[in-house]
Amino acid sequence: MLAAAPAVAQPQSSAAALSLELNAAQPSDKGCRLTFVVNNALGADLSKAAFEIALFNAAGVVDRLTVLDFKDLPAGKTKVTRFDLAGADCGKLSRVLINSTTECTGNGVDPATCMRGLKTSTKTGIAFGV
């Protein structure tokens, strides 16, 4: 007689993801410079990826909405990109929220892929996510 073994969950292969890390926030001549490290593990080249973000001040109130254009993101590539936010004070920035994808294009890429596969993290004291 054979005993049935319990089903064991097999480890999932790593899911396709677009990893976006808020790596640094530093004062600049123009205001606040945000540095991001982005890794495209979606399995397809992105010819353009852009996100609308909301910046929250120290009181948790939305200070502004702006679009960050990460331009092209080749599959399997890690890229560092900086954005100068004119007039923003890094010391008063409490949160960066990714509000939506404004552009996510590539050969055979569904426009919803960027937001659906987005994984966020931060190395700063600023909350960052969706």
Question: What percent of the chain has a predicted confidence (pLDDT) above 70?
Answer: 89
* Higher pLDDT pick, 111 / 23: 23
Indicate the CATH number for domain 17-129.
Answer: 2.60.40
Q: Report the half-sphere exposure of 58 (CA within 13 A, side-chain side).
A: 5
Burial 30-54 (b: 16+ CB within 10 A, else e): eebbbbbbbbbbbebbbebbbbebe
Q: What is the mean pLDDT of the chain?
A: 89
Nearest to 97 by CA among 70, 118, 82, 72: 118
- Write down the domain spans for the chain: 17-129
Pairing of strands 48-57, 93-105: antiparallel
Tokens representing 14 are 């790593």
pTM to 2 decimals?
0.84
pLDDT of residue 7 exceeding 50, the answer is no
The answer to whether residues 40 and 77 touch, using CB atoms and an 8 Å cutoff, is: yes
- What is the C-alpha separation between 46 and 79, in angstroms, rounded? 12
Which pLDDT band holds residue 14 (cuts at 50, 70, 90)? low
